[in-house]
Amino acid sequence: MNSNYRCNMRSVVGGMLLVVLTGCMAPTTPMAEYASENAISIRYSAYDTVPTLTAEAQDMAVKHCAKYGKFANYRGGNAANALTTEEIHRFACERRKTDDGSVIAGQSRRPGYVIIN
């Protein structure tokens, strides 16, 4: 075997190992990035292709808004930037509870893939 083949195989195996290990990682502990009487933004790292709203982040938002006698209504989440697994999830603190399910379902759609021949 030539050295280029061995080097390429090591790169492939190393890359596959990295993908497997990344897939097994759990989200980090959420931290409030911004908080006021009317809203809270929560940041943490998660490991999926779409935003991952954790129960811990939801609980944090519910407790924060309850301090003001309000409900935490989920407004969505996005990646902090393209080069990290960090996500920012936004909640509005409001007097009425709305259905968070439609927002969660809308952002949980996996991206489509285009095959180019």
Domain that holds residue 42: 22-107
CA-CA-CA-CA dihedral for 74, 49, 33, 105, to nearest 10? 0
Total domains in the chain come to 1
Is residue 101 in some structural domain? yes
Is residue 97 in some structural domain? yes
Is residue 16 in some structural domain? no
CB of 77 closer than 8 Å to CB of 90: yes
Is residue 2 in some structural domain? no
The per-residue pLDDT for range 17-30, each reduced to its tens digit, is 555 444 456 788 99
Q: Which residues on adjacent β-strands are paired with residue 44?
A: 87
Report the SS3 class of residue 113: coil
Side-chain half-sphere CA neighbours of 61 within 13 A: 29
pLDDT value, residue 20 = 47
C-alpha to C-alpha distance for 64 and 59, rounded to whole angstroms: 9
pLDDT value, residue 102 = 84
The per-residue pLDDT for range 69-86, each reduced to its tens digit, is 999 999 999 888 878 889
Is residue 26 in some structural domain? yes
**Residue ranges of the chain with pLDDT lower than 70?**
1-25, 110-117
